[in-house]
Structure 1
Amino acid sequence: MASVDVPACPVCGELGVPILYGLPTRVAREAAAAGKVRLFGCVVPPEPDQWTCSQNHTWRAGDDETLIAAIDAAMGRG
């Protein structure tokens, strides 16, 4: 799995976990069960958050490339 520099939570400083929206695949459910991604459902807000932490803070980092790389790595595609 490729190493990705994920952003730290702006509130508590913990490392972020990428948020996935939409109907999850089997692989996405397995990644969520392992704590590699968080599933946020099928309703995508107009300005969706990209990251969450274990304290349930959510935020946008604005770096889509890092987000995509983290999701790919979590799902075994990176």
Structure 2
Amino acid sequence: CPIGTYGKDCAYECSTNCTKQTCDRNTGRCLLCPPGSLGYYCERVGIVEGAKGPEDPNMSVIVGAATTRAQALRETGV
């Protein structure tokens, strides 16, 4: 499959959350996530880099999710 695609006949696009939109050619799981992103498809945002812990008054936590249209269609079976 060309970079940015996966699956049978390379018919699916890797998540735009994946670093350089690269993913496993069979599963579509991201090979690398940007800093602060978590999950197979880098769909979850984790703790902001540099936070020291709960006692740190400057600590921030970001929670969210993102998905591509192709991923949403696969998950819903449409």
TM-score range, shorter chain: under 0.3
Q: Give the greater-gyration-radius structure (CA).
A: 2
Q: Structure 2 length as normaliser, TM-score?
A: 0.27
Structure with the higher fraction of residues in helix conformation? 1
Higher relative contact order (CA 8 A, sep 6+): 1
TM-score (norm 1): 0.27
